[in-house]
Amino acid sequence: MNLSYSPEEEQFSAALRAWLAVNLPDGWLAGNRSLPTDLAGRDQFLRQWQRRLYAGGWAGISWPKEFGGRGASLVEEVIYEYEMVRAQAPPQLNLVGIQLVGPTLIEIGTAAQKAEYLNKIISGDEIWCQGFSEPNAGSDLASLQTKAVKDGSRYIINGQKIWTSYAHAADRCFLLARTSVTEKKHFGITAFLIDMHQPGIEVRPIHQINGDSDFNEVFFTNAIAERDDIVGQLDQGWGAALVMLKYERGLASQIFELERTLSDILRFAKTHSVNGRALIDDEVFGDRIADLYVRALAARLTFYRHVTEQARTGSRGAEGSLDKYCATELHKQMLSYALALCGPNGAAVEPAQVLAGLDFQTRFLTSIGAAIAGGTSDIQKNIVAERILGLPRDAR
């Protein structure tokens, strides 16, 4: 494992850091990193940020240059995530489009689909969501029941999706629906690209424990999907879904968030006292923060080892489940400890803490969902047990 950057990677890192210094929203570097509180205002703010990234050449960096990307290497993608976390840059509203839909269309989309959608995705002109999970088809996604019935050259869609990130702001959706019933439930599923603004689609935001509402329920009542917007082959949508899932990213940012949270806990400890003594000077605090530091460092170095292997082989294995589990569970523990340090004040969000970037309360509540999204910790542990440790599978 090589922990040093090549000259080209050093140049990439320096260029991104310089661009962020000039282009982050006004007041961001000074610590004023709050987003608009209303959902519509926040979405508009993030759309503008997406367009600024695109104009600067920093959207879809792993996309091939012919489609507007930089053709970045895997290591450069990791560098990108590190610099974004370091700067605490605003999130990308079109994350599903940039990281999942775009790369999937580049790999298996038709020429017409690439021409129609890719530029709109990377520029932020169209926001996308992913219609996969259903009330009775979460971890067992192949049990989905949303139906698409052929009607001439189009398909009529009825059903429900849930936990659909960004559906409230989305212009289009990468949707999985059942087009035939077979004995093998992984067959008979088709992937569609559908218009979210048509009649027959109702989006209901879900109020989350952290105060946000960017997960949604989506109801389809005689919604329309065109035949030309089938991705891959009819009834072979499971294969298209697997192509999309291999492009899932975010592990790097979750790993690097551990470092940011540790730094914030230390900053808090330097400015707060208990019984007249600064937290930073407390031996018990020192032992606890040292333990968290060592575990975070182990998670980061293990992640780097996995990235090195992926760069060598060109494929991402089950090790990603280990990284995801370690990062999300450790982050919950860190933020829980941060709340304990706050004492009674940990029970309420303090405006001053939010402005200082130390909003431990909201971040802790968000960390609970992070351990569920993209595959629960229990699912990740099963994958590690079966595919890395070689343990027997659970009884089915």
What number of residues does the chain have?
396
Residue 248 annotated to the active site = yes
Q: What is the CATH number of the domain that holds 158?
A: 2.40.110.10
Quick one: angle between helices 39-55 and 111-123, nearest 10?
A: 110
What per-residue confidence (pLDDT) applies to 345? 80
Centre a 10 Å sphere on the Cβ of residue 127 and count the other Cβ atoms it contains.
Answer: 24
How many domains in the chain?
Answer: 3
Q: Which tokens hold the place of 396? A: 């089915």
CB distance 221 to 200 below 8 Å: yes
**Catalytic pick among 248, 309, 329, 350:** 248
Q: Are residues 323 and 364 in the same domain?
A: yes
CA atoms within 13 A on the CB side of 328: 25
Q: Which of 241, 261, 279 is the last residue of a domain?
A: 241
Q: What is the CATH number of the domain that holds 71?
A: 1.10.540.10
Q: Are residues 373 and 269 in the same domain?
A: yes
Q: Tens digits of per-residue pLDDT, 236-263?
A: 999 999 898 878 766 788 999 999 999 9
What per-residue confidence (pLDDT) applies to 356? 57
Q: Are residues 229 and 260 in the same domain?
A: no
Q: Are residues 257 and 208 in the same domain?
A: no
Give the single-character DSSP code of 70: -
CB distance 172 to 225 below 8 Å: no
Q: Taken in order 51, 52, 56, 57, is the CA torsion positive or negative?
A: negative
Q: What is the CATH number of the domain that holds 362?
A: 1.20.140.10
Q: Are residues 18 and 89 in the same domain?
A: yes
**Cα separation of 56 and 65, whole Å?**
14
Range of the domain at 325: 251-388
Q: Are residues 234 and 257 in the same domain?
A: no
Q: Are residues 59 and 178 in the same domain?
A: no
Q: Are residues 14 and 34 in the same domain?
A: yes
Q: Please name the helix (run of DSSP H) or strand (run of DSSP E) that holds residue 49, with its range, or none.
A: helix 39-55
**Cα separation of 368 and 333, whole Å?**
10
C-alpha distance across the termini of the chain, in Å: 39
- pTM of the full predicted structure? 0.88
DSSP 65-107: GGGTS----HHHHHHHHHHHHHTTPPPPTTHHIIIIIHHHHHH
Q: Tens digits of per-residue pLDDT, 135-180?
A: 988 778 889 999 999 999 999 999 999 999 999 999 999 999 999 9
Residue ranges in the chain modelled with pLDDT below 50: none
Q: Are residues 155 and 222 in the same domain?
A: yes
Q: Which of 241, 268, 284 is the last residue of a domain?
A: 241
Q: Which of 241, 260, 294 is the last residue of a domain?
A: 241
Q: Tens digits of per-residue pLDDT, 71-81?
A: 999 999 999 99
**Cα separation of 58 and 112, whole Å?**
25
Inside any domain, residue 116 = no
Q: Are residues 152 and 176 in the same domain?
A: yes
**Cα separation of 110 and 157, whole Å?**
22
**Cα separation of 312 and 186, whole Å?**
31
Inside any domain, residue 120 = no
What per-residue confidence (pLDDT) applies to 49? 94
What per-residue confidence (pLDDT) applies to 323? 92
Q: Are residues 258 and 198 in the same domain?
A: no
Q: Which tokens hold the place of 229? A: 């917007």
Q: Are residues 13 and 84 in the same domain?
A: yes
Q: What are phi and psi of 170, to 5 degrees?
A: -80, 145
